[in-house]
Structure 1
Amino acid sequence: MYSQNEEKPLAEVISFLEVKYKVQFNYAEDTVKGLTVKWNTDLKSLDDSLAYLQNATSLLFTRIGAHVISIKHNPVKILCGTIRDMETRALLSVATIQMGDEATTSDEKGVFELQVKDTSKPIVIRYLGYKTTYVTYNALKDRDCPDIFLMPNFQRLTEVLISNYIVNGINKINNGSFDIDFSKFDILPGLIEADVLQSVQNFPGVQSSNETVSNINIRGGTHDQNLILWDGIKMYQSGHFFGLISMYNPLITQYVSLRKNGSSAVFSDGVSGTIDMQSSKRVNSKFKGMLGANLTNVNGYIDTPVGKTSSIQIAARKSIGDFVETPTYKAFFDRISQNTEVANNQMNITNSDKSFDFHDMSLRWLYRITEKDKLRLNFINVHNRLIFNENANLNNNEESRKSSLSQQSIAGAINYERDWTRRLQTVLEIYETDYKLQSINANILDAQRFLQENIVSETSTKLKMNYAINERFQFLNGYHFIETKVTNLDDVDSPLFRSLVSEVLRAHAVFSEIGYRSLSGKTNLNLGIRYNYLSKFHKQLLEPRFSFSHKFLNYFTWEVLGEFKHQNTSQVINFQSDFLGIEKRRWQLSNNNDVPVIQGKQVSTGISYNKKGWLLNVDAYYKKVTGITSQSQGFQNQFEFVKSTGSYEVKGGELLLRKAIHSFNSWLSYSYMDNSYFFKDLSVTRFPSNYDITHMVTFGTAYSLNKLKVSAGFNWYTGKPTTRPLIDNSFQDNVINYGAPNSDRLRDYMRLDFSAMYDFKIWNNGAVLGVSVWNVLDQENEINNFYRLRNNTVNKVEQYSLGITPNMVFRLAF
């Protein structure tokens, strides 16, 4: 009897199998002579034993009938190639060549030889500073060491500074940004889908004061001050369910880059931060697909090759409210309609036949025209629609009228990349993005129809030229043209009233940036300048940007970031009842007068310590944004109907402590903020910002065991500022008398979340089953309150966050 993994002559093992399974092996003695194997005693069948021996010896074991097995030498296929630089034709030594489990490197003459076991697998060639290249077996099999040319990677100055910043798949980059790679993404508390805009809220200094992805606050800024890009397209909408779910399909969105400061000169807009989402840039050679469902939607995804040099990705989602109303779906619907006309109508009016639907479709097509030319096309279409009937008994007759709210984004882009030489690359990006918010409010008592529309249409053309001087220096230059048109419509049929305001603004920009990386890779510097010209106002803006990082004493990194930025669009609230009170914000263009161009500047510095699974990161920052309007801040106190321009100033600090032990990961983050307004025309000029969340703490854990992933997290932050009426004199002349603005606060916010994912196989296809619970303790968190005067009484209106909300997901890959 053999012991486990005991080294035995192959001939002896063959004799053992002949006796055990009553079979005969046919072979020449020289075939097995001198060969030994570590025999695995756990093998349960003859087929398992043959497969094991074939893998261990590289011999070919073939069944001949039921009881005879032939043993022959396995003819090994050898491929040969020569690795060269695309332009200079220089030979590249020590390039890595891999095909399945087989790997080798090129010699000093750039030549490699590779054994081939599976001809269907691609040959992957990697070389530092060059783009990864994929070659098929058929391209090399009948040729004598043909040349294979590699293209320089023009992004090589950018690299990971800290890997697994919070969990696997989240990295900090040496230019100050944070990257999420969803192909390597682990798991975060409360999330079972890779929700892009929910995931970025796990970084210190990033949160949503009302739990929605349509109100993300980066270092105290408003959501409209975030530049949100999807494959280079600026998006003016961010969520489904009017903000509870990200509208960007996680199946096609593979990478996310978050910049809180130190932006590249390439980017316009976003005085608070940039969220840059990207799909995969790799031409896929093999069909992939996925189907899934959770308690809010069903979804599907395919990535299929189109010929040898092209592939197309398509992803789509559809809400399930038309078919079944799950507890999660109902909780989301109740949350968005809370304290709106949808949930509570006036007098004897009742609402019925409420329905909500959302869907999205994303497409990305890649075409590698030549080794030097690449083309990418993108398209996205997103739609939300809410419908309900308003019913009343008028003059003993039942009357019913339909009200609705729709929100839609549709955008397309073309991206053409040309590598002229190994040092020079140009990229042309053109996009058109359109956003439309429309509501029809049927006032049944007055037989009135109120139509409101907010439409944004933007066209952009950007040309970038990247020139790599050497391994240390890289130049980036370019030109950017943007035309933005914003239309606002208010239309009432009785009495007849129509207001249509349409404005257009064109902006030209040139930018230049130099990147430096030391040969040791320890020092990185990016210096950029962006010149903007707003033709309508004859306004010129010069915006410097910089990022610097230096690694010292092996485990420490010092970082300094800074930027000047501006933006020409912002969101305002004219009346809290606009658009049925659900998505009441509308986009508007700057007019350089009572709606100024918003300008921001900030600087930050920090230090990191990273060793043996420990990470400590501490940052301090200062930020000032001018040109904001009171209407853009969502006041619901004495300044609700006041129009004024002003600024806000933020001083803050952020800390992250993380410890990773094998498959266990835990982190603790803390953010401090002192955020205040200055409005010179208001009765009180300085007071705390509506987004002044002084203290915020997050504690999370994630654990992976084989195919199971579990995560839990706790969130706490101080309540947001609020303004309360005077106790002794709450109203006068039908006007509420308020105390000092934002002198009080809501109750502290607390939430515990949990999620778990399990990977398994169904019919040899990968499958995932996941569960999550948002707000496990069902904590009643007040996220907003305001006051209204009714019947000579001051009434307090409160808005609450989601209660305990479960969710489940199932996905099948094929």
Structure 2
Amino acid sequence: MSRKGLLSIFLSLFFLNVATLTAQSIQKEKQPLVTILKIIEEKYSIRFSYIDETIKEIETPLPDSHLVLEDVLEFLKTETLLDFELLDNRFVVIKNKTVTQPSGFKMQRLEEVTINNYLTTGITKLNDGSIAIKPETFGILPGLIEPDVLQTIQALPGVLSTDETVSNINVRGGTHDQNLLLWDGIKMYQSGHFFGLISAFNPHTTKRIHIYKNGTSAKYGDGISSIIDMQLPNEIDNQFKAGIGFNLINADGFAKIPLSKKTELQLSSRRSVTDLVLTPTYDQYFKRIFQDSDLTKSNRNSISQNEQFYFYDVTLKFLYDISEKDKIRLHFLNVSNRLNYDEQSTINDRSEALNSKLSQQNLATGITYTRNWSKSLSTSSQICVSNYDLDATNYDITNNLRLIQENEVYDGSAKMDINFAPHHQLKINGGYQFTEVGISNLEDVNNPVFRSYIKEVIRSHAVYAETNLLSTNTKTNLKLGARLNYIQKFDMLFAEPRLSFSQRFFNNFRLEILGEFKSQTTTQIIDLQNDFLGIEKRRWVLANNNDDLFIDDDGRTIYPVPVLKSKQASAGIHFNKNKLLISAETYIKKVDGITTRSQGFQNQYQFVNSTGSYEIKGVDVLLNKQFTNIISTWVSYSYNTNNYRFDTLNNGKSFPNNADIKHAVTFGGTYTYNSFKFALGLNWHSGKPTTTPSSNDTPNDDVITYQNPNSSNLKDYLRTDCSATYLFNISNTSKATVGASIWNISNEKNILNTYYTLDSENNVTKVENHSLGITPNISFRVHF
């Protein structure tokens, strides 16, 4: 390990030790009720269930430690004027003392939180195996000064990005296109701004995010690697909220506006400032994203200049409660990235300039109607459309070439969901979903004249049913379901069972068993590494269920793209006592139907088209310790073996996956005192696989001779980050937050990718893609 790496570790340990000593000297008086509840849960081995709004902004002293549970609850009733109902020996429901329920009130089975403050505040682990994130109560994580949705989930064991972007998140070895991203129930095909460095979803308007790595609910289709379900506030509370803020990359604002007792409007907008002002953060982002692209790989006869890059997103949600039983919600989201630059050249003493450009946009809209038929029965219907469009115009002045490329996705969906909860311990969920997905790809070249336009459409039907049981003592939770998918075009039927089982024993231990079968008809491929200016190389395609490539009637080569199928099982043990969490989970996942073009090979298989599979086996371990609600520290370790198998490649033998990161370690800590928050963390993982040329290679026929695929590894990756925020009052009705962060404190020169090319004289040239260098950022935000 380098000296910088050792320095990073030393700094991490030093700051956390200082924070620990400081925390031990702090005397607590009146505290937020949510903090008191967590202390009581640990002391008396109970669980509180409540609606967030019920306890919001309520403070109370900590009850005396000698009191029995019944006296503690009476004390809290007196101090908070809330009702604390003990359902059994460990399950307490908190509600307002005078509650009148409308005739259409829907009874929900209360979700039990298995682990509070998972890594930091605002992150919880539920008893169905999923992780829930609430940006509104989110604490702080190293390197983040805002609760970026897709950056935050990378702090979870088993989740990382091999290239540091949110548009390439690998969950248990899967590729990013194998993650299902839902925004208010609508599938999204674009996840990042700045072509992957920033999440495309505004965290300040997101109420809750659910992440499933396994044991997915039967209502979810697609997403064979993970589900990331982002939900906006869905209830009208007649409270006005707003905020504006900026950092060194973008500025944004949001507002939640009650229009009447029955209507509410939620708005947000965010736009980059990169085309208006240059900052050190932008400089680092620019170097990272546009390295090895057409923008920076100008040849001797041309130069690229006058680049203009910006991004924006706009969200809108309209809530209308028609009656106590009927509700309508309208959803709208538009996210966009745009890049323009001029390419100039002087040929025969004549100067020419042409404009190359790239745009990426995802537009989503939908309407949801919910009806509460009774206290135990409710239905929800949604019709939505998601439209993704990636366009590029690339000029090569020297060779008089113009290339136009377009990738467009149309995804229309209609869903009906039924929930029946006759008792808080039993919930039955079922429904139907119809989906039509159309994907087109266009290529247009002027010299020689060539045009290719391919469009495919798939219509699918799905029915699902699921039962969720919670034992009387809340120790056992069982969710068992199945999804039946029918693809009309291929006359294919898939049965997909789902399982989530959780059993608490010895009070502080919990056994968790998860399993699922899933399928997926969409995937992303790379035809050429310089497609779409070499910046956004991946394009969406649909499964065609072909076994072999063939030439269609128009002379186009159609490559096989199978329907992706996955099987996954996992088992874990969790110990949680006295704010100490020890968690260990082992898993195995098999995915069939991948193609070489979907894996982004840059070796001997770059231009080979074959179908195969990958299998990953791994273990995730997490140790998380909290001290007096002020300090949270954690260490996580992941180990896995992830191997490909293609019948026609490598003599049919398995070889390491491009995302085979065998060892990954994260160490981090957060310190919170009153309105100040600080986080420091270290990320290390073994180098990703790579393929090197043969040592005795003598290039022949413009071909590089390689060693065995992925038989070598890049250097280990190491990065240390820190961040801090401070909240203060501006007036009685407004607050402000100032924040600062540094990504890669020690400026480690991490290599993210290596590949080889031949120069004009047939000599092998090595190309390296580097990670972000030291990257500072600051932010300022006002809340109304």
TM-score, structure 1 normalization: 0.83
**After the TM superposition, which residues 84-483 of structure 1 pair with which residues of structure 2 at under 5 Å, given as runs?**
148-149=101-102, 153-483=106-436
Given the alignment of the two structures, is residue 761 of structure 1 paired with residue 761 of structure 2, yes or no? Answer: no
Q: Deviations over 1:697-742 (max 9, x none)?
A: 0000000111110000000000000000001125222100000000
> Which of 476, 479, 483 pairs up with 1:523?
476
Give per-residue Cα distances to partners, 1:600-634, cap 9 Å, x unaligned: 01000000000001000000000000000000000
The answer on whether the counterparts of 1:154 and 1:425 sit within 8 Å (CA) in structure 2 is no
The answer on whether the counterparts of 1:479 and 1:510 sit within 8 Å (CA) in structure 2 is yes
Larger displacement relative to structure 2 (492-501 or 701-710):
492-501
Match of 1:778 in 2: 747
- 1:313 maps to a residue whose letter is Q
Once residues 599 and 565 of structure 1 are traced to their aligned partners in structure 2, the CA distance between those partners, rounded to angstroms, is 6
Correspondence 1:653 to 2:622: no
CA displacement 1:439-468 (0-9 Å, x = unmatched): 000111233221000000000111011112
* 1:131 CA drift (Å): 12
Q: Tell me the equivalent position of 1:799.
A: 769
Look up the match of 2:705: 737
CA distance in 2, matches of 1:668, 1:149: 47
Classify 1:254/1:126 alpha carbon distance in 2 versus 1 (closer, same or farther; 3 Å): farther
Letter in structure 2 aligned against 1:690: N
1:64-123 CA-to-partner distances (Å, cap 9, x unmatched) read: xxxxxxxxxxxxxxxxxxxxxxxxxxxxxxxx98998799xxxxxxxxxxx9xxxxxxx9
Q: How much has 1:421 moved relative to structure 2?
A: 1.1
Does structure 1 conserve the Cα–Cα contact (< 8 Å) formed by 2:217 and 2:481?
yes
| Structure 1, gaps ≥5 residues long | 1-95, 104-114, 116-122, 136-144
Q: Which runs of 5+ in 2 are unaligned?
A: 1-52, 61-76, 547-559
Aligned in 2, Cα 1:399/1:649: closer, same or farther, shift over 3 Å?
Answer: same
Tell me, yes or no, if structure 1 residue 671 matches structure 2 residue 670: no
Distance in 1 of aligned mates of 2:410 and 2:92: 38
Asked if 1:502 is matched to 2:484, the reply is no
Does the 8 Å CA contact 2:184/2:230 hold for their aligned counterparts? yes
In structure 2, the residue matched to 1:728 is: 696
Q: CA deviation at 1:312?
A: 1.2
1:50-61 superposed matches below 5 A? none
1:718 to 686, 697, 710: 686
**Larger relative contact order (Cα-Cα within 8 Å, sequence gap ≥ 6):** 2
Structure 2 letter corresponding to 1:801: S
Question: What is the alpha-carbon distance in structure 2 between the residues aligned to residue 367 and residue 627 of structure 1?
Answer: 44
1:659-701 alpha-carbon deviations (Å, 9 max, x no partner): 0001011000000010000000113431000000000000000
Match of 2:660 in 1: 692
Code of the aligned partner of 2:126: I
Deviation at 1:494, TM superposition (A): 3.0
Counterpart of 2:720?
A: 752
In structure 1, what residue type is equivalent to 2:666? T
Q: CA RMSD in A?
A: 2.2
Counterpart residue type for residue 616 of structure 1: I
Aligned partner of 2:568 in structure 1 is 602
Give 1:87's aligned residue.
none
Rounded to whole Å, the distance in 1 between the matches of 2:231 and 2:400 is: 48
SS of residue in 2 equivalent to 1:149:
coil
Q: Who is 1:61 aligned against? A: none
Q: Distance in 2 between matches of 1:240 and 1:292?
A: 17
Residue number in structure 1 paired with 2:34: none
Task: For 2:749, give the aligned amino acid.
Answer: E
| Secondary structure, counterpart of 1:194 in structure 2 | coil
Separation (CA, whole Å) in 2 of partners of 1:461 and 1:125: 41
Q: Helix, strand or coil: the match of 2:205? A: coil
Q: CA deviation at 1:414?
A: 1.2
Letter paired with 1:573: I
Tell me which residue corresponds to 2:6. none
Opposite residue 667 of structure 1, the aligned amino acid is W
Tell me, yes or no, if the aligned pair for 2:54 and 2:96 is still in contact at 8 Å. Answer: no
Match of 1:534 among 473, 477, 487: 487
Going from structure 1 to structure 2, the CA distance change for 1:125 and 1:307 (only over 3 Å counts) comes to farther
Q: Aligned partners of 2:103, 2:155: CA distance in 1, in Å?
A: 38
Q: Distance in 2 between matches of 1:597 and 1:668?
A: 38
- Residue in structure 2 matching 1:788, options 757, 763, 775: 757
Q: Which amino acid aligns with 2:153?
A: V
The change in CA–CA distance for 1:459 and 1:98 in structure 2 (over 3 A counts) is: closer
Question: Residue by residue, what CA displacement relative to the aligned partner does 1:482-536 show, whole Å, maximum 9, x if unpaired?
Answer: 0000000001123321100011000000101111110111100000111110000
**Alpha carbons of 1:752 and 1:485: their partners in 2 closer, same or farther (altered >3 Å)?**
same
Distance 2:92 2:329 in 1: 20
Residues 97 and 219 of structure 1: CA distance in aligned 2, closer, same or farther (over 3 Å): closer
AA aligned to 2:233 is S
Contact preservation (8 Å) 2:109, 2:425: no
Contact 2:106 2:372 in 1 (8 A): no
- Name the aligned partner's letter for residue 329 of structure 1: Y
Equivalent positions of 1:549-698 (< 5 A) are 549-593=502-546, 594-662=560-628, 663-685=630-652, 686-698=654-666
Measure the CA separation in 2 of the matches of 1:388 and 1:353. Answer: 5
Contact 2:106 2:377 in 1 (8 A): no
TM-score (norm 2): 0.86
Q: Which has the higher helix share?
A: 2
Q: Name the structure 2 match of 1:112.
A: none
Matched with 1:486 is 439
The answer for the alignment partner of 1:52 in structure 2 is: none
